[in-house]
Amino acid sequence: MNIGQAASKTGLSAKMIRYYESIGLLPIAGRTESGYRHYAAKDLDRLAFIKRARDLGFSLEEVGKLLALWQDRQRASAEVKALAASHIEELNRKISEMTSLRDTLAGLAASCHGDDRPDCPILKELASGDRTP
């Protein structure tokens, strides 16, 4: 199938498919006589794997490692689990950071009267450059 069909079947854009190919996550596609890329079922499986891993927040580097592990039938599942555990730790760190940011902003929003007065604690905080009010 051509790149448009592959994009439609995988939910990825043609641009992303070409990008994944350019960085080596997807093997270079075969070409038709007229020069169009041609993708096989195994390419769609690989693209679906990449998309799912990206949807779970794995970095491109991590996706590459996961692909290598997926292709290696001799792999130890411990390697896969370790990569997933590391990603979970990173997600937890980001969640904690985002929760802190949300709480800070919620506190600032609660302290703002939101009326016609010019005094605004939110803007005052932003101007101070201090990370914690």
10 Cα distance to chain centroid: 16
Range of lowest pLDDT (9-13, 41-45, 66-70, 128-132): 128-132
Q: What is the pLDDT of residue 131?
A: 58
CATH topology of domain 1-57: Multidrug-efflux Transporter Regulator; Chain: A; Domain 2 (1.10.1660)
Instruction: Using alpha carbons, select from 37, 17, 40 the residue that is nearest to residue 29.
Output: 37
Please report how the helices 77-111 and 121-128 are oriented relative to each other, as an axis angle in degrees rounded to 10: 120
Model confidence, pTM: 0.80
Instruction: Using alpha carbons, select from 62, 36, 37, 38 the residue that is nearest to residue 50.
Output: 62
pLDDT tens by residue, 30-39: 898 888 899 9
